[in-house]
Chains A and B, each alone.
Chain A
Amino acid sequence: MRLRLPFGRRKELPSHMWTQCPDCGEMLFNKQLARNMSVCPKCDHHFKIGARQRIELLADRGSFVEHDAELASADPLGFVDSKPYPERLEAARVKSGNKDAVLTGTARIGGIDVELAVMDFEFIGGSMGSVVGEKVTRAAERALGERRPLVVVSASGGARMQEGTLALMQMAKVVMALGRLADAGIPYVSVLTDPTTGGVLASYGSLGDLVLAEPKALIGFSGARVTDQTIGERLPAGFQRAEFVLEHGFIDQVVPRAQLKERIAFFIDTLRPRPGDVRWSL
């Protein structure tokens, strides 16, 4: 059932109860939106969701056990822009309720044990600094140690400027750990959500044995501002959307949010190492 507003009163409604769909303009009752996995029931627009909500949608109820929850960013460069980096971090912690831009832990998806890492765009644009690099690397190393599939859900603007080249090097660090997983025949599923760009896409985001994406998610290498500044032109509309990236051959499937858990479960069940399978006992 679609909820309509009384005529002419749209602007006066309490905003905490309603959200306007940015795609179709429909006013959506927040509770209804949450029941529908934060997907607009009218036009199928997938709203950005936080890491905790994502875990609730993907992990079997109560199965998520967080690891490295206390890992926090330092300020290696002493970075100050409009405010010092530690203040920016503190504000992001308060806003998102998390210590940094990724949550990692062990969970079950469709009854299968996995290592799960979920990024949170709310935390400084999901940017990857030392903490994100370290936590995702540890998740990959645990997946290797426990011989469990790794599932990483990305939502990120790229490397975190405030940590300079140390942030850039996290790309190599995570990819190093993924290489060991690949050698050991342990599946890694990369899920790209809106938006996944820059250094995260140019490292672990693109390297899944399977790469899945949510409908219409922004997926691309360079942000609009970088393109504009470097070559003085804007990317045409529709560029860098999940469907575009699928068409050009860089992801395996676009999967609606409602089917994502089931689909991941199917894939990891098919690909995961099985006890007694001689191929896996290297």
Chain B
Amino acid sequence: MFLKDPIATIRGGVGLGARHPADGDGRVPADGFVIVDTSTLPERVSPWEAVKLAREPHRPHALDVIERAFSPFQELHGDRSFRDDPAIVGGIGRLAGRPLVVVAQQKGASTEENIQRNFGMPHPEGYRKAIRLYRLAERFHLPLVTLIDTPGAYPGPEAEERGQAEAIARSIEVMTRLRTPIVAVVLGEGGSGGALALGVGDAVLALQNAIYSVISPEGCAAILWRSATEAERAAKALKLAGPDLLELGVVDGLIPEPPGGAHSDHDATAASIQSAVSAQLDRLDRLPLADLLAARYERFRRIGLVIEPSEATPPPKRSWIKRVLGR
């Protein structure tokens, strides 16, 4: 039927990975601090390895990075409505002297700490605190940096009662229109909508071994294979590892980790994040606000892959496929 147009051609064409690192169309240029082309990666770990590395308890978590890369940092608490959610930390910091607002998901390194941080799973009030800080950044013309590291938004009854879905939707909405540059960095786990609520950026970066997924591999396996033990298979199928995300255009660049992984050297990891984010902010600071917002719209507008027969309805004049290719 209409699939007679071989998908392989479409995929080869759009490529999803057919990225042009320095083509000046708003994409992240190669600046020496991030990997923008997977062919330059020395090695790719298996998806399941990436999941394990991303969840490694000694991996640097948000506050480990913040105290090294965004110092001096003053944490700000509370959503002004319900309570202070410890799974989201945020405040005012400096990145190599540049003042900015940081909002991050915080996991713990020990069980005790994890219980206090709810394993990095925010409640609605956490997202509402994030929104409050996004607006603070906008009002005082400070760039916003978000650090993503969550298994997902908390799925319990209290979260449902207080409108988890609305909080996430609103957080995404506020980011889409925030009148200040945003750089989002996936540190470890990017768990679905709960991660995306911090993930709408002008540049979206990820640590090399971070993951970002629509559903946890365990959740996916439980639904599709009716068994959580198939998580390894699901991890492979979901294309959730850093290099896959780069090829799909979900992230713009990968921040290299020290040999042995981010957990082996927190200082080096934080230094890499600091240089990579600085370089992005230098670039974004030069853009007029209207161009910044237009580029942010386009960045997300073009994500996805659809097959559209050529004899499609008249609008839009340029077909979707062509716009993706930028031709």
Q: Residues of B within 8 Å of A, CB-based: how many?
A: 71
- Are A165 and B224 in contact, CB atoms less than 8 angstroms apart? no
- From residue 68 to 97 of chain A, which have CB atoms closer than 8 A to chain B? 68-77, 79-82, 86
Cβ of B106 under 8 Å from chain A: no
Any chain A CB within 8 A of the CB of B156? yes
Q: Cβ of A161 and Cβ of B218 under 8 Å apart?
A: no
Decide: A178 and B173 in contact? CB cutoff 8 A: yes
- Say whether A204 contacts B10, CB under 8 Å: no
What's the tally of chain A residues with a CB closer than 8 Å to chain B? 73
How far is A149 from B243 in the complex, measured between Cα atoms in Å? 41
Which of B52-60, B86-94, B298-306 is the contact stretch?
A: B298-306
Contacts of A67 in B (CB 8 A): 313, 315
Q: How far is the CB of A62 from chain B (nearest CB, A)?
A: 19
B residues adjacent to A (C-beta < 8 A): 2-3, 7, 10-11, 16, 121, 151-157, 159-166, 168-170, 172-173, 176-177, 192-193, 196-197, 199-200, 212-215, 218-220, 222-225, 228, 237-240, 245, 248, 250, 296-297, 300-301, 303-309, 311-313, 315-316, 320
Contact B165 A74 (CB under 8 A): no
A265 in contact (CB, < 8 A)? no
Among B165, B170, B224, B248, which residue has the most Cβ atoms of chain A within 10 A? B165
> CB distance A133 to B304 under 8 Å?
yes
Inter-chain contact B313/A134, CB cutoff 8 Å: no
Binds B, one of A24-32, A42-50, A231-239, A267-275: A231-239
Q: Interface SS of chain A: helix, strand, loop or mixed?
A: helix
- Do A207 and B248 touch (CB < 8 A)? no
**Contact between B214 and A164 (Cβ–Cβ < 8 Å)?**
yes
Q: Which residues of chain A are within 8 angstroms of B237 by Cβ–Cβ distance? A: 77, 79-81
CB within 8 Å for A207 and B7 given contacts A202-B164, A202-B193, A235-B157: no
Q: Does A37 contact B (CB under 8 A)?
A: no
Pair A239/B300 contact, Cβ less than 8 Å: no
Known: A71-B307, A77-B239, A134-B320. A161 touches B224 (CB 8 A): yes
In this complex, which of B214, B218, B245, B297 has the most chain A Cβ atoms within 10 angstroms of its Cβ? B214
